[in-house]
Amino acid sequence: MKRLLAFMVVGLVLIGSLSARSIGYGLGYYGQTVEAQPQLTSSGVEFSLVYKPWNLAFANPSVIARTSLGTDQGGVYRVPYLQIGFGVDLIRTTRHPFNFLAHNVIAYAPMVGVSYSFNPKRNMSLLALEASPFKLIQKDFWYEVLSPYFFIDMEKGEIDSWGFNIIRFTYFFK
């Protein structure tokens, strides 16, 4: 009986998280340097889809798919990456020095992420590491500023490309 009750409580908690807004889309402004081929250095708009099943105060995970569209140094339109991976909000707190940035109280939730990334132009698979040290969140939104990322060539064991998302907004609609 106790075991059944415990299962029911856990089940209710898990179902409860499903009613929270957990699916969102994002728009960002990226710039990226390709060390191996500088002419492919580009900047433009980034699109993302996010699924975050829980709202944990610590180590809150999310699944993130990203792609981007920009122009390279020759003005040619490129899709520099297609990505899928995980992000983890290390902590969520409203006690932080960035509340003056928003009209209402907002939570601070720095994130780190790791993804599989594919560069279609170069037909190349890379490991993507990213950080969002300035990530502020509300119930429906993520606001990220100056988020650096690195693409690592696992075969060579070196940084292939790096860049920033200077600003990114993610809206959770469901």
Partner 1 sequence: MRKKVLLLSMMIVLALPVFAGYFDVGITIGTNAHLGERNLDPSRLKLAWGSAIGLTDVWELDVQANTQLVPTFVDTTSVSFLLQRALLGQRSSGGQTAGVGINTLIGVGAMISPYTIDGRTTLTHLLVSLTPITVGSPVTGKRERLLAVTLAYNLQTKQVGVLFDLLKFDFYVVGSYKDYR
Please report, as ranges, the residues that interact with partner 1 according to CB under 8 A: 29-33, 38, 41-43, 73, 100-101, 103, 145-146, 163-164, 166-167
Report residue 57 as tokens.
């105060």
In whole angstroms, the minimum distance from the beta carbon of 162 to partner 1 comes to 8
52 vs 151 by CB, closer to partner 1: 151
* C-alpha closest to that of 88 among 135, 140, 27, 138: 135
Angle formed at CA 114 by CA 128 and CA 68, multiple of 5 degrees: 50
In whole angstroms, the minimum distance from the beta carbon of 62 to partner 1 comes to 24
71 vs 125 by CB, closer to partner 1: 71
73 vs 93 by CB, closer to partner 1: 73
In whole angstroms, the minimum distance from the beta carbon of 48 to partner 1 comes to 17
In whole angstroms, the minimum distance from the beta carbon of 163 to partner 1 comes to 6
Residue 79 to residue 30: CA distance in whole angstroms = 12
H/E stretch holding 142: strand 141-153
In whole angstroms, the minimum distance from the beta carbon of 71 to partner 1 comes to 9
Residue-wise DSSP of 41-107: -EEEEEEEEEE-----SEEEEEEEEEEEEEEETTS-EE---EEEEEEEEEE-BS-STTGGGSSS--E
Q: What is the CA radius of gyration of the chain?
A: 18
41 vs 115 by CB, closer to partner 1: 41
41 vs 62 by CB, closer to partner 1: 41
